[in-house]
């Protein structure tokens, strides 16, 4: 499945109103650990169905990062029916991300 780029404009539609759970990777270009997290998410997106994978650049979407109290990146948040059901701060292994999304 393709990874969706989340912005302040499409957040509601793609995340809050999504019919399936959404994993959002909060990242920034200057964050070393984020660059290691990205390929893990890419790999999972290619393997797992029934979950939407998305990434959100905190530099460009500061208000969303603030709204969800992101204070360190990478932060991964899983949304289900518009609500936060799981979150993790810091680089997560593939196994840990799978656990977060329940696969």
What residues are annotated to the active site?
Answer: 31, 34
Round to whole Å and give the CA distance between 50 and 13.
17
Under 8 Å between Cβ of 72 and 21 = no
Q: What CA–CA distance (Å, rounded) separates 68 from 99?
A: 21
Per-residue mark of binding to other proteins, 15-54 (x: CB under 8 A): -------------x--xxxxxxx-----------------
Establish if 86 lies at the interface with other proteins (CB under 8 A).
Answer: no
Give least dist CB 74 to other proteins, A: 9
Bridge partners (DSSP) of residue 86 are 78
- Decide if residue 85 touches other proteins (CB under 8 A): no
> CB of 51 within 8 A of CB of 79?
no
Interface residues with other proteins (CB under 8 A) are 28, 31-37, 58-59, 65, 69-73, 75, 89-91, 93
């Amino acid at each position: 499945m393709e990874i969706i780029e989340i912005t302040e404009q499409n957040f509601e539609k793609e995340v809050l109103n999504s019919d399936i759970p959404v994993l959002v990777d909060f990242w920034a270009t200057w964050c070393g650990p984020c660059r290691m997290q990205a390929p893990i998410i890419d790999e999972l997106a290619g393997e797992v169905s029934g979950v939407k994978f998305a990434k959100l650049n905190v530099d460009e979407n500061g208000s969303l990062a603030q709204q969800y109290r992101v204070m360190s990146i990478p932060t991964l948040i899983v949304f289900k029916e518009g609500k936060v059901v799981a979150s993790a701060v810091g680089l997560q292994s593939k196994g840990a991300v799978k656990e977060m999304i329940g696969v």
